[in-house]
Structure 1
Amino acid sequence: MTKVRGFEIVSKYQGLGITLPKRATKGSAGYDLMASKNISVPSLFKALKEGDPKVAMQSTLIPTGVKVYMPENEYLLLANRSSNPMKRQLAVPNGIGIIDSDYYDNDKNEGEIFVQVINYGMDDLEILKGERIAQGIFTKYETADAEDQSFEKRTGGFGSSGK
């Protein structure tokens, strides 16, 4: 069977109990992504109150321990779980994340997916390994007719395109 799209465990997480993303119901568009380890997400309001604006203005990257493969004309859209803002005061600061098809197996981090979040609650938030933190939705896209086809090979990890 030819692989078209799916998820794999990043090599450094092999044998560590990482679960591949899956949909909750047949009608679910998103695959649930989970934290690969326990991680603390600092409260931006608490940091401001304590006089630490540097911490308050930083996002937290939550590792998932998984990577994704897909055709060239697709990307994985990362969206916040709908319950995160109401129940946990957790937000994706730019609204969504984009995982490009050439992010898979890149030289820097093997294509591991990280979910960028901010905690706008009053207290630091502990995310536990295995907790669902975001959804990934496979999405097709089109390109312009007269596009220059001389592209560089992606070599970096998180935030590496467009450098």
Structure 2
Amino acid sequence: MKRGFEIVTKALPLDLELPQRATQQAAGYDLASSVDMTLPSIWKRGFFRAIRLLAQARALDEEQLENAQKILKPVLIPTGIKAYMQPDEVLVVANRSSNPLKRSLVIPNGIGIIDADYYNNEKNEGEIFVQMVNVGLTDRKIKKGERIAQGIFMPYLRADQEKFPTKKRQGGFGSSGK
């Protein structure tokens, strides 16, 4: 087995489908939400007030700043899927081209990188989550099975004088930065 997708153990009862390419020439495998959920609009809960204060060059107090940051925090959408690949490959998670234009959904970090050693990690079994922010004026309902992103398997290159890392992954999402 070189590369592909599997359903994580906790999602087996959900009757999920493995990601597929939509057309013969498509590079990306469609990743879908494993649950029904709502992505809240960022334009709610006092966000306008924070922008107004900042526009007036007024400082936000600690509570206002914290509330504004919470509104902008991405939501993690579970897929119930994990990816396996060769040690010199990554799965690049990218937004669907229609999401910003038709649904006002963006991936705030541009792309996500799923490393080969994320597969079957002890924290979350390697489940892929997609970070999204809803920049639309209203909340956006996401249905189970709705395509939210695409995954593209890609090889990567190493630098000539690389000091090969000895550190092993200790957990799931964001764990290699510790």
TM-score, normalised to structure 2, is: 0.87
Could you report, residue by residue, the CA deviation over 1:137-159 in whole angstroms, capped at 9, with x for unpaired residues? 00110101221124211021111
Alpha-carbon distance between aligned partners in 1 of 2:110 and 2:9, rounded to the nearest angstrom: 29
Q: Are 1:136 and 2:151 an aligned pair?
A: yes
Per the normalisation by structure 1, the TM-score is 0.94
Q: Residue by residue, what CA displacement relative to the aligned partner does 1:95-145 show, whole Å, maximum 9, x if unpaired? A: 111000100000100000000000000111111100000000001101012
Residue in 1 aligned with 2:61?
none
Distance between the aligned counterparts of 2:31 and 2:72, measured in 1? 24
Deviates more, 1:100-109 or 1:54-63: 54-63
Gaps of 5+ in 1: none
Residue 64 of structure 2 corresponds to which residue in structure 1? none
Partner residue, 1:10: 8
The one-letter code sitting in structure 2 at the alignment partner of 1:13 is A
Task: Kindly report the root-mean-square deviation, in angstroms, between the aligned alpha carbons of the 2 structures.
Answer: 1.3
Q: In the aligned structure 1, how far is the partner of 2:96 from the partner of 2:7? A: 21
Q: CA deviation digits over 1:29-50, x for unaligned, max 9?
A: 0000000001111111123148
Higher normalized helix content (fraction of residues): 2
Structure 2 unaligned runs (5+)? 51-66
Note if 1:62 corresponds to 2:77: yes
Larger radius of gyration: 2
Cα 1:94–1:28, aligned 2, differ >3 Å: closer, same or farther? same
CA–CA distance in structure 1, aligned partners of residues 42 and 70 of structure 2: 7
Runs of 4+ in 1 over 2 A off after TM superposition: 49-52
1:98 correspondence with 2:102: no
Aligned pairs for 1:1-163 within 5 A:
3-47=1-45, 48-49=47-48, 52-163=67-178
Which whole-Å CA distance do the structure 2 matches of 1:65 and 1:101 have between them? 17
Q: Over residues 67-114 of structure 1, what are the superposed CA-to-partner deviations in whole Å (9 max), with x where a residue is unaligned? A: 000001100000000000011100000111100010000010000000
Hey, what's the Cα distance between the residues in 1 that align with 2:124 and 2:163? 28
| Percentage of identical aligned residues | 57
